[in-house]
């Protein structure tokens, strides 16, 4: 269970064991997911995918499909491409055109070529099989390393190259630092193409009302600026798009970004005049959903002294975003936020290269590129220790930022707000009984097994502020990254808060109600939290970037404090004293020193709504407040050295797993997993703990099992859960979570982010443990996932 | 499209439906009976999100045609509630332990867990992990689910001892 932090303030709801607001409906079978939305008269879409990785579309014959009873329409790329605008890319790529259905050419196996609308999904699938497409198959571009210097088939011929972005930044005196250090290590680390693969696929229902001129959208979405992108693609004003944010999203972790699905369906409902629904099946999701994650090769050199203190590093990151980049190339930018991890590194050279290929498109995945980067950095820490014959923990301890050095600025400009990295690291060494783990490892080895203990630390930047995007595309001069809350108190005293985006498991209703309850000293169970639709809602940038506790949480505090201030003003006026004479506690507003002179919560609510004659002159009637919260510290552009503070709050973790490897099969068993964790004030400890352990599980998947494998011709080899392996309860060990609390100075209650951290550290920790197990055989594998067959092959090579 | 008439017994209630013979049980439960607590995850029998009871056995309702379920008792997550509509002890323990995040796999996890507890009132942690290993959860890492099943087993044993 979670250890209660020792230095916890005397909160009554925050950081206390409390049931969540959301879980009751889920255990009752009463969640409302997108596939549960039933709009009268809605029809169903099925997709015809391309079987070719790269091909010209010569002709499409839809006549047989249209003749099938129950079929209403067959849409192809030519029509949709004419009628809608190209979808949004993060980079400035005017010649990379992206439509939901292929236009003229297919660019990956699984790309959507046509869409059928029918009375049922069954009939739509039947009809899709009757569409006859004549293709001219072409060679595919698959190998990302060949995109830069070799002649490769062009994914987007009009763009002229498969390189979408290539730039090198230098922060600090890299050459001088390298010259001053006696040691360097160079290595390659590779992150395989995996993703978060939620159990719920993406789905969307849309209904165009031509009388009221409004497009209602229900979707399994987690994405900033969703309604903006729908409106832009359909060429309609944003206030004709109403996204219903009260849809429960069945897992996302970054990837639920079905803009192409949504443009397809919204176009169809507007064209056909009836509601239309598309729910991906699993193959749609894995092959054609454009929801793959980073696919990255790092080449890194670190320069360090004889004590293992790292002074500088050079990173080259080559990422394959697949056929349609969307926002994916920007995942090379977010890691700038913590480019040197939790370490005191003086200078960094960073070359980011984004290439396109004939593979399914990439989307933002939990951490927005940070997990691969952290794996690559931690691999370097292991290398430095090995090079000098030093202890792996000691090398990390020597490089960690020290407690008394915060706020600490790193070379690219981010300012680490707070932390006590050494305390967390020391704590997890104690909690895990490190020496005992090593003894167990050695006992396993003595029995002829392979065993290893791993270590990794990592930072979890939280809060957002995507001004790094400006370094990739100066047109993205966006310096606001807001989240909002509207709070109101009814005449009877009940509190309702409106948040402005969807939730995909993060427990935002619990977050808002807990903080509002804490601030106002009202029971959170009595506070209702709504998800306002996009037309009612205040500005939002959606629950990405491990940001909601930070930004939505702080907005909630501000709105609640504003309400409290208004109530004190009303009380002071009615009781005939100055505002500073009023004390508030437990629902009562009392004149200081005169306990008999007081008003209750309910009385003030009644006055505010019903008794103008008792209100302070000129005071707003009713009791409501809203807060639009900017990310703390955000708002500036990069300076002339390309330095800019990015995310504001930094959570920290140290991970320690013990693994055993079957020497015959190479199968890895994770026996134990310990994590020391500091995310400042945990609003709900059960939610934080679940996020951490779930993130670790997700990281174990990325480290050992999950990969969207392609063959040399660009055919996807992992389109089902038989080929793409998600870890089950067998593969995930019990995780011991030890909490430390260093409150952030930048948020209302000291909270930081916790949604990504488990995933950011686990892959590096598992790789560390596996390589410790393989060390006696002088084997080191720095390519994820490290699958059983990879280990078995490496062992065979060494021992044959 | 050919239609057939079938009578299904779901959560103790008989309903006669006219459906295509190829309709899967999960689609029938969700779209015809509007019991949307049962979810669709993979449609190839791996993820377990569509688990329901067929008589007393947990099955994948995506791998069965609705017509095949005629003559059997089907129980979905909605049927796990107590008769007065309150949460069962298992559902309550899942809430207490926060044994979910997005809630999508939860109905299937409840079915798998209830099936285990019916057979084994005192399961070990390994027993629980084995029992839920055919149900994938992408949010939790399974630990709080294991704890919720342990809590339920303990409550039932204590209830039996006290009752």
Reported as a pLDDT band with limits 50, 70 and 90, residue B160 is confident
Cβ–Cβ gap B22/A758 under 8 Å: no
How distant is the Cα of B78 from the closest Cα of chain A, in angstroms? 6
Question: Phi and psi dihedrals of A24, rounded to 5?
Answer: -60, -45
- % pLDDT > 90, chain A: 98
Reported as a pLDDT band with limits 50, 70 and 90, residue B15 is very high
Same domain, A661 and A759: yes
- Is the predicted pLDDT of residue A4 greater than 50, yes or no? no
> Does residue B59 sit at the A interface (CB-CB below 8 Å)?
no
Tell me the count of A-B CB pairs closer than 8 A: 186
- Look up the CATH number of the domain holding residue A756: 3.30.365.10
**pLDDT of res. A799:** 81
Secondary structure, 3-state, A221-289: CCCCCHHHHHHHHHCCCHHHEEEECCCECCCCCCCCCCHHHHHHHHHHHHHHCCCEEEECCHHHHHHHC
In this prediction, residues A627-639 reach a mean pLDDT of: 95
Structural domain ending residue among the three candidates A629, A652, A674: A629
In this prediction, residues A141-160 reach a mean pLDDT of: 96
Reported as a pLDDT band with limits 50, 70 and 90, residue B52 is very high
Higher pLDDT, A230 or A799: A230
- Is the predicted pLDDT of residue A5 greater than 70, yes or no? no
Cβ–Cβ gap B104/A251 under 8 Å: yes
Reported as a pLDDT band with limits 50, 70 and 90, residue A6 is low
**pLDDT of res. A8:** 62
Structural domain ending residue among the three candidates A564, A594, A629: A629
> Does residue B127 sit at the A interface (CB-CB below 8 Å)?
no
- Is the predicted pLDDT of residue B155 greater than 70, yes or no? yes
Cβ–Cβ gap B104/A200 under 8 Å: yes
In this complex, the residue of B34, B87, B102 whose CB is nearest that of residue A251 is B102
- Is the predicted pLDDT of residue A596 greater than 70, yes or no? yes
- Is the predicted pLDDT of residue A453 greater than 60, yes or no? yes
Cβ–Cβ gap B144/A726 under 8 Å: no
Q: Looking at beta carbons, which residues of chain A come within 8 Å of B81? A: 28
- Is the predicted pLDDT of residue B8 greater than 80, yes or no? yes
In this prediction, residues A263-289 reach a mean pLDDT of: 97
> Does residue B152 sit at the A interface (CB-CB below 8 Å)?
no
List strands edge to edge, sheet with A528-531. A528-531, A495-499, A483-489, A624-629
**pLDDT of res. A660:** 98
Same domain, A589 and A500: yes
**pLDDT of res. A7:** 55
Residue A317 lies in a domain: no
Same domain, A461 and A503: no
- Is the predicted pLDDT of residue A437 greater than 90, yes or no? yes
Residues A307, A385: Cα–Cα separation, whole Å: 9
- Is the predicted pLDDT of residue A798 greater than 70, yes or no? yes
Cβ–Cβ gap A253/B138 under 8 Å: yes
In this complex, the residue of A25, A199, A694 whose CB is nearest that of residue B41 is A199
Q: What is the number of helices (H) and of strands (E) in chain A?
A: 19, 30
Mean pLDDT score of chain B: 97
> Does residue B118 sit at the A interface (CB-CB below 8 Å)?
no
- Tell me the CB-side half-sphere exposure of residue A49, using CA atoms within 13 A: 21
> Closest chain A residue to B22 measured between Cα atoms?
A122
Same domain, A446 and A494: no
B89-162: which CATH topology? DNA polymerase; domain 1 (1.10.150)
Residues A451, A436: Cα–Cα separation, whole Å: 13
Residue A431 lies in a domain: yes
Same domain, A536 and A591: yes
Write the pLDDT tens digit of every residue in A744-796.
999 999 999 999 989 999 999 999 999 999 999 999 999 999 999 999 999 99
The dihedral of CA A365, A366, A367, A371: what is its sign?
Answer: negative
Whole-model pTM? 0.97
Reported as a pLDDT band with limits 50, 70 and 90, residue B163 is low
> Closest chain A residue to B136 measured between Cα atoms?
A728
- Is the predicted pLDDT of residue A2 greater than 50, yes or no? no
**pLDDT of res. A686:** 98
- Is the predicted pLDDT of residue A415 greater than 80, yes or no? yes
> Closest chain B residue to A28 measured between Cα atoms?
B78
Same domain, A526 and A447: no
Q: Looking at beta carbons, which residues of chain A come within 8 Å of B43? A: 281-282
What is the span of the domain harbouring residue A761?
A: 368-466+642-799
Write the pLDDT tens digit of every residue in A642-671.
999 999 999 999 999 999 999 999 999 999
Query: CB of B42 within 8 A of CB of A282?
Result: yes
How distant is the Cα of A260 from the closest Cα of chain B, in angstroms? 21
Residue A236 lies in a domain: no
In this prediction, residues A611-633 reach a mean pLDDT of: 97
> Closest chain A residue to B82 measured between Cα atoms?
A28
> Closest chain A residue to B96 measured between Cα atoms?
A19
Mean pLDDT score of chain A: 97
Give 3-state DSSP helix, strand, coil % of chain B, rounded to 5.
Answer: 40, 15, 45
Residue A671 lies in a domain: yes
- Is the predicted pLDDT of residue A368 greater than 80, yes or no? yes
Same domain, A387 and A533: no
Cβ–Cβ gap A253/B144 under 8 Å: no
Same domain, A443 and A488: no
- CATH superfamily name and code, B4-80: Beta-grasp domain (3.10.20.30)
In this prediction, residues A708-730 reach a mean pLDDT of: 97
Structural domain ending residue among the three candidates A573, A607, A629: A629
Same domain, A387 and A499: no
Q: Looking at beta carbons, which residues of chain A come within 8 Å of B95? A: 19-20, 23-24, 27
Put residue A353 in one of left, alpha, beta given phi > 0 → left and psi -120 to 50 → alpha.
beta
Q: Looking at beta carbons, which residues of chain A come within 8 Å of B38? A: 29
Cβ–Cβ gap A730/B129 under 8 Å: yes
In this prediction, residues A456-479 reach a mean pLDDT of: 95
Q: How many domains does chain A have?
A: 2
Q: Looking at beta carbons, which residues of chain A come within 8 Å of B76? A: 29
Q: Where are the domains of chain B?
A: 4-80, 89-162
Residue A186 lies in a domain: no
**pLDDT of res. A3:** 44
- Is the predicted pLDDT of residue A182 greater than 90, yes or no? yes
Residue A586 lies in a domain: yes
Residue A527 lies in a domain: yes
Residue A214 lies in a domain: no
Same domain, A601 and A547: yes
Cβ–Cβ gap B130/A734 under 8 Å: no
């Amino acid at each position: 269970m979670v250890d209660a932090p020792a230095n916890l303030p005397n909160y009554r709801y925050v950081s206390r064991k409390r049931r969540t607001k959301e879980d009751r409906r889920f255990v009752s079978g009463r969640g409302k997911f997108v596939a549960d939305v039933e709009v009268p008269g809605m029809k169903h879409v099925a997709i015809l995918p391309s079987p070719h990785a790269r091909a010209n579309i010569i002709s499409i014959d839809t006549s047989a499909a249209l003749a099938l009873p129950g079929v209403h329409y067959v849409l192809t790329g030519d029509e949709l491409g004419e009628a809608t605008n190209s979808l949004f890319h993060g980079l400035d790529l005017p010649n990379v055109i992206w439509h939901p259905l292929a236009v003229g050419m297919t660019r990956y196996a699984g790309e959507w070529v046509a869409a059928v609308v029918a009375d049922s999904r069954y009939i739509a699938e039947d009809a899709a099989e009757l569409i006859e497409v004549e293709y001219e198959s072409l060679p595919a571009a698959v190998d990302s390393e060949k995109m830069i210097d070799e002649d490769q088939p062009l994914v987007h011929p009009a763009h002229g190259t498969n390189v979408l972005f290539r730039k090198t930044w230098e922060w600090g005196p890299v050459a001088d630092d390298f010259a001053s250090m006696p040691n360097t290590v160079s290595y390659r680390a590779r992150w395989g193409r995996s993703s978060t693969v939620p159990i719920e696929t993406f789905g969307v229902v849309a209904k165009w009302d031509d009388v009221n001129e409004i497009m209602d959208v229900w979707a399994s979405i987690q994405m900033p600026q969703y309604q903006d992108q729908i409106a832009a693609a359909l060429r309609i004003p944003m206030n004709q798009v109403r996204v219903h944010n009260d849809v429960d999203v069945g897992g996302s972790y970054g990837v639920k970004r079905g803009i192409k699905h949504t443009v397809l369906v919204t176009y169809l409902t507007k064209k056909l005049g009836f509601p239309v629904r598309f729910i991906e099946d699993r193959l749609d999701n894995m092959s054609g959903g454009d929801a793959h994650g980073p696919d990255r090769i790092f080449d890194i050199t670190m320069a360090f002294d004889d004590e293992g203190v790292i002074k500088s590093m050079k990173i080259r990151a080559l990422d394959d975003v697949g056929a349609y980049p969307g926002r994916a190339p920007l995942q090379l930018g977010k890691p700038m936020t913590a480019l040197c991890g939790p370490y005191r590194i003086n200078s960094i050279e960073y070359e980011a290269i984004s290439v396109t290929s004939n593979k399914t498109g990439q989307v933002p995945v939990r951490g927005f590129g940070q997990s691969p980067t952290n794996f690559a950095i931690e691999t370097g820490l292991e290398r430095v220790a090995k090079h000098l014959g030093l202890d792996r923990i000691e090398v990390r301890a020597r490089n960690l930022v020290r407690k008394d050095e915060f706020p600490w600025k790193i070379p690219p400009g981010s300012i680490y707000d707070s932390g006590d990295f050494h305390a967390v690291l020391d704590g997890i060494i104690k909690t895990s009984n490190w020496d005992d783990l090593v003894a167990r490892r050695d006992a396993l080895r003595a029995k002829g097994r392979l065993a290893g203990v791993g270590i990794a630390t990592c930072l979890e930047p939280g809060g957002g502020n995507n001004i790094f995007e400006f370094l990739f595309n100066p047109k993205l001069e966006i310096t606001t990254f807001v989240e909002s809350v509207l709070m109101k108190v009814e005449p009877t005293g009940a509190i309702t808060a409106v948040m402005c985006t969807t939730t995909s498991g993060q427990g935002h209703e619990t977050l808002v109600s807990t903080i509002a309850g804490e601030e106002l000293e009202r029971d959170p169970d009595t506070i209702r939290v709504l998800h306002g639709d996009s037309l009612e809602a205040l500005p939002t940038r959606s629950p990405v970037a491990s940001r909601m506790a930070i930004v939505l949480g702080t907005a909630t505090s501000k709105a609640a404090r504003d309400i409290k201030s208004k109530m004190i003003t009303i009380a002071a006026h009615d009781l005939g004293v100055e505002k500073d004479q009023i004390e508030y506690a437990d629902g009562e507003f009392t004149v200081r020193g005169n306990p008999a002179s007081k008003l209750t919560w309910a009385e003030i609510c009644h006055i505010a709504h019903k008794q103008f004659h008792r209100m302070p002159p000129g005071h707003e009637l009713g009791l409501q407040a809203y807060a639009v919260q900017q990310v703390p510290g955000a708002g500036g552009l990069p300076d002339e050295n390309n330095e800019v503070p990015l995310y504001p709050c930094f959570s920290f973790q140290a991970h320690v797993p013990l693994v055993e490897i079957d020497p015959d099969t190479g199968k890895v068993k994770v026996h134990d997993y310990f994590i020391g964790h500091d995310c400042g004030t945990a609003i709900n400890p059960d939610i934080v703990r679940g996020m951490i352990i779930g993130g670790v599980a997700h990281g174990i998947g990325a480290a050992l099992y999950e990969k969207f494998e392609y063959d040399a011709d660009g055919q996807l080899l992992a389109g089902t859960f038989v080929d793409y392996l998600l870890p089950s309860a067998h593969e995930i060990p019990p995780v011991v979570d030890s909490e430390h609390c260093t409150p952030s100075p930048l948020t209302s209650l000291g909270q930081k982010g916790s949604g990504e951290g488990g995933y950011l550290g686990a892959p590096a920790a598992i790789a560390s443990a596996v390589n410790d197990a393989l060390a006696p055989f002088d084997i080191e594998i720095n390519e994820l996932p490290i699958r059983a067959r990879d280990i078995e092959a490496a062992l065979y090579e060494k021992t044959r | 499209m050919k239609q057939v008439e079938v009578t299904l017994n779901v959560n103790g209630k008989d309903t006669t439906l006219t459906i295509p013979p190829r309709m899967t049980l999960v689609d029938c439960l969700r779209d015809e009976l509007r019991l949307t607590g049962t979810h669709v995850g993979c449609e190839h029998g791996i993820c377990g999100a569509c688990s329901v009871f067929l008589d007393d056995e947990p099955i994948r309702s995506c791998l069965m045609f609705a017509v095949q379920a005629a003559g059997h008792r089907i129980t979905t997550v909605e049927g796990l509630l107590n008769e007065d509509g309150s949460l069962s002890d298992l559902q309550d323990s899942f809430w207490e332990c926060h044994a979910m995040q997005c809630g999508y796999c939860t109905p299937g996890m409840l079915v798998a867990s209830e099936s285990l507890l019916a057979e084994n009132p005192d399961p070990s942690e390994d027993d629980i992990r084995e029992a839920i290993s055919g149900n994938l959860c992408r949010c939790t890492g399974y630990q709080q689910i294991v704890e919720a099943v342990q809590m339920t087993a303990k409550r039932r044993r204590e209830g039996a001892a006290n009752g």
